[in-house]
Amino acid sequence: MRLDKYLKVSRLIKRRTVAKDVSEQGRVWLNGREAKPSAAVKPGDELKIQFGQKLVTVRVERVSETVRKEEAGDMYTVLKEEGIGS
């Protein structure tokens, strides 16, 4: 699944266009490398996402084209959340 779509379906980012923009700005890393919106995401991958001054690291648990809002959190596990520049 494409990175931008995964971020939207998992509800890590609310809109796919925002997910695409964040990726293009170099604020998403997939397995330690800067990721483009079209990068392929699969279970076991590690994502780092920079939200302003916060860096969130998650592990992809499963990939699904559609998922209910209540089950979106099951698609990933938060490994670490940290502030940047503080």
What one-character DSSP code corresponds to residue 14? S
Residue 85 has pLDDT above 80, yes or no: no
Rg of the chain over Cα atoms, rounded to whole angstroms, equals 12
- How many other β-carbons are positioned within 10 Å of the β-carbon of residue 21? 14
**Please, what is the average pLDDT of the chain?**
95
Mean pLDDT of 22-33: 97
How far apart are the C-alpha atoms of 28 and 67, rounded to whole Å?
22
Residue 84 pLDDT: 79
- Our count of domains for the chain comes to 1
How far apart are the C-alpha atoms of 77 and 65, rounded to whole Å?
18
> Each residue of 51-81: pLDDT tens digit?
999 999 999 999 999 999 999 999 999 999 9
> Each residue of 40-58: pLDDT tens digit?
999 999 999 999 999 999 9
How far apart are the C-alpha atoms of 6 and 58, rounded to whole Å?
12
Q: CATH number of the domain that 20 lies in?
A: 3.10.290.10
